[in-house]
Amino acid sequence: MASPNRRFKDAIYEQFARIGKAIAAPKRLELLDLLCQGPRTVEALAEQASISVASASQHLQVLRAAHLVEAEKKGTYVECRLADREVCDFYVSLRRLSEARLAEVRQVTGAFLTERGAMEVVEADELVRRVRDGEVTLLDVRPSEEYRAGHIPGALSVPLGELEKRLAELPRGRELVAYCRGPYCVMSIEAVALLRKKGVAARRMGEGVVDWRARGLRVERGPAGGARKRGEPARPSR
Amino acid sequence: MASPNRRFKDAIYEQFARIGKAIAAPKRLELLDLLCQGPRTVEALAEQASISVASASQHLQVLRAAHLVEAEKKGTYVECRLADREVCDFYVSLRRLSEARLAEVRQVTGAFLTERGAMEVVEADELVRRVRDGEVTLLDVRPSEEYRAGHIPGALSVPLGELEKRLAELPRGRELVAYCRGPYCVMSIEAVALLRKKGVAARRMGEGVVDWRARGLRVERGPAGGARKRGEPARPSR
DNA sequence: CAAGTATTCAAGCGTTCGATTGAATATGAG
DNA sequence: CTCATATTCAATCGAACGCTTGAATACTTG
């Protein structure tokens, strides 16, 4: 026993399992999800994932040990980011697989969405065409740093917290569609709820920037340059 | 604390982590790898992964609980198979990510291959063209059940154990390229070593059927119908 | 019906994991 | 230099994991 072949295979599968172990904890997945939206400090990650800073630090060390995440000192802060675009793609494929294979995911999501009264969801398939044709206005309701790190071309940056006082800025005449970090992020749900309460028609897109890019569509970087010219289309690339 | 949003997110990420936990153990990954080649009984899986039957049974239950694997009673045996094509794709993307991110994988593989003197590896990019043009003969050296479950079009089924006594059958005049389960399977290495010892020029392709399919190329099913007509090409589909 | 075989179940044991706590380290500001 | 802040380290504890062993279950075959 313990032939060279066996030892080789054991070594290889043990390496593969390093990635597996890294994504075996719910909180680490939540951290990865957040990091897919853009770099963040340890503190910000801890707060957004509702865990202690020490706990976040430990989880991030596991992710770094698996070479999924990189960290860089920036002054007093440590900025964490995904090690590679590929990590984000892998996370998305895990999410997709979970949705496909685990009935619980669909069930929990469905129950939550109906409870929130957020039934109407725009399919991205439909949206791609309508955004290109300039039929809808996309609202990116994530924090502005995340918008800067990457957003759907043509989208307006209106962070959820500022939405109420910036209602007047919103362009009229075209349908509003809000999106946020992804299908399991609640910001766009709350944005749509707020808009409706104010009498503004709006719908929610479940997919986020990450899904948009996974479709091979172009993603734009850079600051929120105020209102975008009306007719500017968001063309798919690649 | 424990807002509805938080509880929803915790529930969702916990579901995602079910898949993560399922692929967090090296032996479960090895079982998945084997199952990517085709269905197998618990006993066969245990033997091929070098673990006890009870241990294999337990791992398979974990994989089944994550809905990655399905089992069906067939007489006295229980036949296990991947729940979906998508699971195989996910496994391949994990493997790819490991190769990309973990230097240890590349290092361990490199060391093993040089030790085995199996330096020359045919790149599949090159091979796609040459197989199509009928310049090479592909040898599938896996067990014949796996060939039947899916093989590269045009490949000859010559299981490693039968290779020596079937040397005479091998077509002459074209280069021989052996493949097996994938880059970390040793059967094609041993096949090439044997062929060379017998004075037959041959090379190894690291990729397996799974990688072939991941490239969007056609995979053929069905029994090993003896020697295939010479000129029959293996065309990519899709 | 009985015997044999394939698989699963149940319990035990050592190891690893994840969260908490409090202390330690490092960096920039005053 | 000292202080405040951000992050990591170290130790601890309960829970979960993975493997082993031996018994139990289910199914086919004679």
Domains of chain A in sequence order: 4-87 (1.10.10.10), 111-238 (3.40.250.10)
Protein CA A25 to sugar C1' D15 (Å): 14
Reading the block at residue A9, the tokens are: 């295979």
> Which chain B residues have a beta carbon less than 8 Å from that of A110?
none
pLDDT tens, position by position, B6-55: 999 999 999 999 999 999 999 999 999 999 999 999 999 999 999 999 99
Least confident of B36-40, B95-99, B119-123, B187-191: B119-123
Put residue A179 in one of left, alpha, beta given phi > 0 → left and psi -120 to 50 → alpha: beta
- Measured distance CA(B221)–CA(B182) in Å, rounded: 18
- What is the strand order of the sheet A77-82 is part of? A40-41, A77-82, A69-74
> Residue B119: what pLDDT?
67
Whether pLDDT at B224 is above 90: no
Nearest-angstrom CA–CA distance, A9 and A2:
10
Q: Which nucleotide is nearest to B73 (CA to C1')?
A: D27
Does A229 score more than 50 pLDDT? Answer: no
Residue B125's alpha-carbon distances to B131, B174, B210, B222, in angstroms, are 10, 18, 15, 25
Measure the CA–CA gap between B81 and B87, rounded to whole angstroms.
10
Q: Which 3 state secondary structure label does DSSP give A71?
A: strand
In sequence order, the β-bridge partners of residue A204 are: A121, A178
**B97 close to A (CB below 8 A):** yes
Strands (E), B101-236: 121-122, 136-140, 156-157, 175-179, 202-205
User: Which residue in chain B has the smallest CA separation from A15?
Assistant: B105
For residue A31, give the nearest of A73, A67, A69 by alpha carbon: A69
DSSP A170: S
Q: Dig out the tokens for A55 from the structure.
A: 């706990």
- In Å, what is the separation between the CA of B119 and the C1' of C18? 43
Which candidate in B36, B80, B88, B180 is catalytic?
Answer: B180
Give me the residue label for tokens 């479940």: A206
Residue with token string 């399922």? B22
- φ, ψ for residue A77, nearest 5 deg: -95, 160
At residue B228 the predicted structure's pLDDT band, cuts being 50, 70 and 90, is: very low
How many angstroms away from the CA of A214 is the closest CA of chain B? 14
Give chain A's radius of gyration (CA, Å): 20
Closest amino acid to nucleotide C27 (CA–C1'): A76
Q: Do A16 and B93 touch (CB under 8 A)?
A: no
- Tell me which of A47, A67, A98 to substitute to probe the interface with B (most B C-beta atoms closer than 10 Å): A98
Contacts of B100 in chain A (CB under 8 A): 84, 86
* CA atoms lying within 13 Å on the CB side of residue B182: 21
Tokens of A128: 């791609």
Query: Which residues of chain A lie closer than 8 angstroms to B11, CB-CB?
Result: 108
Q: Does the distance separating the beta carbons of A108 and B19 come in below 8 Å?
A: no
Q: Per the CB < 8 Å rule, is A184 touching B12?
A: yes
CA distance A98 to chain B (A): 6
Angstrom distance (rounded) from CA A53 to CA B149: 50
| Beta sheet of B175-179, edge-to-edge order | B121-122, B202-205, B175-179, B136-140, B156-157
Contact at 8 Å (CB) between B224 and B145? no
Per-residue model confidence as pLDDT tens digits over A110-152:
999 888 876 667 777 788 888 777 788 899 999 999 999 999 9
Query: Is B185 annotated as catalytic?
Result: no
User: Would you list the DSSP string of B113-141?
Assistant: HHHTT---EE-HHHHHHHHHTT-EEEEE-
pLDDT computed for residue A31 by the predictor: 96
Tokens of B66: 């994550």
**Strand C: positions under 7 A of a protein C-beta atom:** 4-10, 17-23, 26-28
Query: Does residue A61 approach strand C to less than 7 Å at its CB?
Result: no
If residue B179 lies in a helix (H) or strand (E), which one and from where to where?
A: strand B175-179
Tokens standing for residue B13: 């990420």
16-55 of chain A touching strand C, CB 7 A cut-off: 21, 24-28, 51-52, 54-55
Q: What is the pLDDT of residue B222?
A: 81
Sequential DSSP letters for B64-97 = HHTTSEEEEEETTEEEEEES-HHHHHHHHHHHHH
pLDDT at B133: 79
Give the pLDDT of residue A188: 93
